[in-house]
Amino acid sequence: MSKIAIGIKIPKPGLKIFHPEVQLVCRTASVNYQEAKVILAEGGIFYRTQLFMNDHVDVDEDIRGVLEEIEDLDIEPVFYELDYSLDWDDVKYNDADIISKSSLINILDEASGQFS
């Protein structure tokens, strides 16, 4: 089992409520517009989830949807694979936990068909 977090690699300060980047962060992080603007401006984490649970099929679809949206926006993301046993409040995002987009997709692809 793994936990996955997606964040903003390069901060984007000064975005307004109507920018699609703000809309994405609001939706995926379940935060208000002001909090989304802070996440973007400071390069924070905007998506967190755990893989290989009962809802894996839905989580897989969510992650792929977020990846697709990111491609259409001017966001440089950073992806983290974290130990499943860590509590989200205790997570320290370290360079050693960074994975590539292709690695994330491979993790999802390898589990394809194992959950229903």
- In-domain check, residue 79: yes
- In-domain check, residue 19: yes
- In-domain check, residue 24: yes
Can you tell me the distance from the alpha carbon of 41 to that of 44, in angstroms, rounded to the nearest whole number?
8
The structural domain count of the chain equals: 1
- In-domain check, residue 116: no
- CA-to-CA separations, 37 to 42, 71, 76, 114, in angstroms, rounded: 8, 19, 15, 37
pLDDT at 53: 72
- In-domain check, residue 16: yes
Can you tell me the distance from the alpha carbon of 55 to that of 62, in angstroms, rounded to the nearest whole number?
11
User: For each of the chain's 116 residues, which pLDDT tens digit applies?
Assistant: 689 999 999 999 999 989 999 999 999 999 999 999 999 999 999 999 988 777 767 889 999 999 999 998 988 999 999 988 888 888 889 999 999 999 999 998 887 766 55
For residue 37, give its domain range. Answer: 2-111
For helices 56-72 and 101-111, angle between their N-to-C axes, nearest 10 degrees: 150
- In-domain check, residue 47: yes
Whole-model pTM: value is 0.90
- In-domain check, residue 29: yes
